[in-house]
Chains A and B, each alone.
Chain A
Amino acid sequence: MEHIVILGNGISGITAARHIRKRSDKKITVISAESDYFFSRTALMYVYMGHMKWDHLKPYEDWFWEKNRIDLKNGWVQQIDFSEKTLHFKNGDKLNYDKLVLATGSIPNKFGWEGEDLDGVQGLVSKQDLEILEKNTKNCKKAVIIGGGLIGVELAEMLRTRHIEVTMLVREKAFWHSVLPFEDANMISEHIKSHGVDLRTATELDKIIPDENGKVSSIITKTGEQIDCQFVGLCAGVRPNIDFLKNSDLAMNKGILVNSYLETNIPDVYAIGDCAEQQKAIGQRKPVESVWYTGRMMGETLAVTLTGKRSQYNPGNWFNSAKFFDIEYQTYGWVWPKPKENEQHFHWQHEDRTKAITINFDKKTNQFLGINTFGIRMRHEVLDRWLTENREITYVLANLKQANFDPEFYTRHEAEIFEGFKKNLQNAQTT
């Protein structure tokens, strides 16, 4: 029986395993050194905040794996011999495979800052990171977070629940402005500040200063300001976790290079999820996408390939979601931080500054290109359809009600949004 070995038990690897099992009887082994069982990485923050316990993070009960004949192996792979098709573990074990799926995920970015490896300095990606965080913040009064992305704001929220003072250094002129248009980024920045976070925009880290015990004691920004702290969170993005594969024949760039079938340059070796890099970009997507659902989709696609039907990874319209303290965010299609040449943004914001919508459309053809929503839930199916059907902006605005996914009895703003757009458009025409 063919033996498929999956390295990594995150969403990509586990989705692949589950779907291979659904479609075949092959022998499946999933290897991880991080945790015995699959858990939802996206929910790590809720354990620290006391919303959930570790066991709640496991989407499947422990008996699930044996029942579905998916072997789980806890071990650290040190080296892979691709010619012999053998994995070499740190403890000396060996394991042979017929097909190998690399789903090793990502690790926090470090940019060679002075002091980045000090005690009390860490990122937040793995289960072990969470355990260290617990230790590092035990008697912490003040923390500094480097980077203004999704992990950064989550870490800020986590620390605030433990009454730790938080300073957040963001390179852009507003939180996550590398992704969000300024109005959106600005609104979220204000919301973050209203939760007692000292958000410093246009500020970068220069170096991290240790105390006499080698523990972090302060940081210095590029403008020379010194901020005392007992903890530094490195949240300036993540990169593929592929260092152990260097000096092998595997073709790699930032991540493991794959074609659109998720195949690497070595036969019978595949890569999916955060660690994979598309040789040829798909649409306007980045070649490396560290997103939960793309990992899931790659896993499902590869399972189809491995069970007999070679299939291309071909994700549909871009979407994503997040939550910034109390404000939910969803996005469908593309809304760039600055409109491209032929594009125009329509921005609507509720007066209480917790709800907003930004729609991106083509100035010439009026085609609807994408939408950001804050504090208003949207129906994925409807927006996905509109994007695929190349609907015009006027159609989207007139039918926005159909796309609303807010709970019953919620206040609706479609009429207001429509009026706002009309005014916006008139202004645009007169100027």
Chain B
Amino acid sequence: MSNIEHNMSITGDAPKSISTTQKIASAIGLTGLLILVLAIANFNFPNKSLFLSLSLGLITLGTAIFSIDAYWGKHAGIKNDGVWFKSLSGKGFWAWILGIGLTLFYVVLYWFPQYLGLNSEGANSGVIGLFDPLSKFINGGPASEWFAYGTLYTVAIWIFGFKFILKYRHNRYEIIRTCSVMFFQLGFAFLIPEILARLNKPYFAPTTIWPLNYDLFAGYRLESFISGGNLGVSMLIFGIVSIFVITPILTYKYGKRWYCSWVCGCGGLAETAGDPFRQLSDKSQKAWKIERWVIHSVLVFVTVMTIAVVYSYLGENSDRFWLTKDVFLWGSAGFLTLLFALIMIFKRDQIQKDAKYGAIGYLVVILAIIGINYFSGNWNIFFFPAYKLREWYGFLIGAAFSGVIGVGFYPIFGSRVWCRFGCPMAAILGMQQKLFSKFRITTNGGQCISCGNCSTYCEMGIDVRAYAQKGQNIVRSSCVGCGICSAVCPRGVLKLENGKTEGRINENEVLLGNDVDLLDLLNQKSQ
């Protein structure tokens, strides 16, 4: 995807050593990590509560000391010195080691949790066993691999969130946003579902919304919601309301950033632990083309899969429930067609030609699948039963893409590979943002000097400079509103804003500072 440059820059290597305090901090943090590694190697710790606390405590302490030493003693401000000289953040040796290590971890986590000590028959051992005391404390049962992972994930967002806040402490937008991400991860994504489990209620994280939460409408989940009493049903209703009401309203008002960089856990990890890698995302036009095809294909996949799964769950006649297979199927087809028609009628000017063709193609494909399967009568998508399709989605997208590639490849392709290329939720929010939102990034008249800091540090691979140097507002479906382009700009050219939707896409190519003659000329030309 990217052209790998062997020469890091035209300049050579600069000093990149770390201070003594940072060395000690690294030692403390690595000791904490070593406990986890020993646990993976099945070293049997006598007092699991103690050693788990020790491990997480040392990792936290080490990261905190390192961050404080790295940023607190310096002036508040953008500190990207030597980012491209460091092996870890400049795609060097340590980046590859970390990338491969993370990838392997995800492979084991998703497909071979037994090697981490998961035991469904008896007591857990290994690293998962180490998390048993904490799991019992919070949800009453032994740890699963997801509990151990969730704990580490939350710890990562908190400790690297702390680092992020120190690094960007001159910027209140970044501080508040990071606090929000840390809060939602701990409360909504980690504790609430675990406590619900303790209360014998369905597992539900209010912040993971369909289609990111692709299992929301799986048969077993629907059963658990329906059998979960009023609370269960209200969760299901909240899940549906989130998709069709809450999400569009918030995105209309604030852009997709309210979710992608204020609430979402995937975004949360990318923004905090992934921050040292944000500059690695590919900004070429080619990458942008690939991105648009891949992410929308995932959205189509998840839509078809969900329709199939729900369809196979529903009954044939209306005795049990008014929503029958037929009503649902034609309802879905009708809804998608209506949505498509409305966009094409009212917003066609804002869609590029290839996107139009793509959308038409995809709609035809979805409707054809629905039609073929309806008339063939057995509801098998391309001869697969619905549950098979869900398994494949879970394997390809839910596990391989979002976990293995999404996080494992942070040090190589940047922190938001999943959000950028794979997340179907981002695709939906992105369409809303591009077509209906009040959000945009405005550029400040003629002050842009095309330096390229904005583009370099855009984790979503948007060539921000291309817009800024033309004085155009930036309205891109992929923008997650992290605000870093605005922060790194040495001329104060960029600002994230919510404003009137009229004139949001400002195509004024005449920059401020040019004389009136040129303006007249352009006006004449456009008449």
Contacts and interface: CB of A to CB of B under 8 A. Distances in A.
A314 interface: yes
A319 B170 contact: no
Contact of B452 (A52, A314, A325): A52
B345 interface: no
Interface in B455-496: 455-456, 465-466, 469, 483, 486-487, 490-492, 495-496
Given A323-B491, A328-B491, A292 B449 contact: yes
Contacts of A56: 452, 455-456
Contacts of B447: 293, 319, 321, 330, 380
A52 B450 CA distance: 13
Interface stretch (A211-219, A243-251, A304-312): A304-312
A317 B513 CA distance: 6
Given A300-B514, A301-B518, A53 B84 contact: yes
Contact of B465 (A59, A163, A328): A59
A127 B11 CA distance: 10
B449 A40 contact: yes
Interface in B428-453: 444-447, 449-453
Interface residues of A, number: 66
Interface stretch (B72-80, B355-363, B401-409): B72-80
A326 B302 CA distance: 46
Nearest to B171: A407
Nearest to B14: A162
Give the interface size bracket for B toward A.
35 or more
Contacts of A162: 14-15
B290 interface: no
Contacts of B495: 377, 405-407
B451 A377 contact: no
18 contacts: A42-B450, A48-B14, A51-B83, A51-B453, A59-B452, A138-B12, A161-B14, A161-B82, A292-B450, A296-B446, A304-B521, A311-B518, A312-B517, A321-B491, A323-B490, A328-B490, A384-B512, A384-B513
B486 A49 contact: no
A326 B492 contact: no
B518 A304 contact: yes
A84 B486 CA distance: 50
Interface of A: 11, 40, 42-43, 46-59, 61, 127, 130-131, 133-134, 138, 161-163, 194-195, 292-293, 296-297, 300-301, 304, 309, 311-317, 319, 321-323, 325-326, 328, 330, 377-381, 384, 405-411
Interface of B: 5, 8-12, 14-15, 75-78, 80-86, 170-173, 176, 284-285, 444-447, 449-453, 455-456, 465-466, 469, 483, 486-487, 490-492, 495-496, 511-518, 521
Contacts of B12: 134, 138
A411 B173 CA distance: 11
A315 B10 contact: no
Nearest to A383: B445
Contacts of B77: 325-326
